[in-house]
Structure 1
Amino acid sequence: MSYARAYARSNRKIAVVVEDDVIQRDMIALLLEQGHFDVIQCEDAETAALAIMRRHPSLVVTDIKLTGKMDGIELAYLAVNCDPGVRVLVISGRPPAAVLPDGVKFFEKPVYPPVLLRELAS
């Protein structure tokens, strides 16, 4: 890899995608990669929490219902507490049962690519 390509890649924003459905996770990750993000894929909130604390992403996209002890709403609070400037999108088939942190946006599944891309562009 050339220095210029490595430098350009290192300046890309980081996104963490948390979804236990591998097809959904891959689709979201692909959209974000095409949108010039380096994507860290996680299937549970505990792994995502480590990635958030260590890599300081600019975007977190999470489902609410996840495997493990922490759900996506708790993860959204953790992400915002780690970095109040992080953008968090919560996606689920059902409306959230708890209040989301200020600034966190909710999208009901299925989330279509144009909707997600529009949100990222805004």
Structure 2
Amino acid sequence: MGQSQPFRATALIVEDDLAQREMITLLLEESEYDVIACGSAEAAELVLNKPGHRIVLLMTDVNLAGRMNGVELAHLAKARHPHINVVVTSGRPLSQPLPGGTKFWSKPWAPLDVLREAEVTLERTPDIR
């Protein structure tokens, strides 16, 4: 019998700007993450509701296409998955409070910020890689 392998970290990226979504995805894939990328909070909600995913990092923009914004998605994600590390980004000041433990990054942020957050998340989550 073989030993069980640690799971590979999964990040959920929610950004309606395709170029930004692709850039974040590439950065996280280079950081040894599996990435699920969505263009709307509604699509991300379906991923969060699906059993079997162990998402450790959610990075979302505030302003998204659809009825739900990134702050609302952050609240939903933290309620359903309290362990998840959530980063909310926006080019504007927030008008809604974030759930506890959620980070806010003002745009523009540097790609190095994504890489650092990916590493911090890996360090805090057991049984990864």
Band the TM-score falls in, shorter-chain normalisation: 0.7 to 0.9
Match of 1:104 in 2: 102
TM-score, length-scaled by structure 1: 0.88
Query: RMSD value over aligned CA atoms?
Result: 1.6
Deviation at 1:80, TM superposition (A): 0.3
Alpha-carbon distance in structure 1 between the residues aligned to 2:37 and 2:98: 22
Moved >4 Å (runs of 4+): none
- Is 2:28–2:114's contact at 8 Å kept on the other side of the alignment? no
**What displacement does 1:116 show?**
1.9
Hey, which of these two has a bigger chunk of helix by percent? 1
Query: Cα deviations across residues 8-61 of structure 1 (Å, max 9, x unaligned)?
Result: 7x8211111000000000000111111111101100000001111212411100
Q: Which runs of 5+ in 2 are unaligned?
A: 121-129
- Unaligned ranges ≥5, structure 1: 1-6
Name the counterpart of 1:24: 20
**How many residues are paired up?**
115
Q: 1:1-122 maps to which residues of 2 (within 5 A)? A: 11-54=7-50, 55-122=53-120
Query: If the length of structure 2 is used for normalisation, what is the TM-score?
Result: 0.83
The percentage of counterpart residues that share the same residue type is 45
1:115 Cα shift?
Answer: 1.8
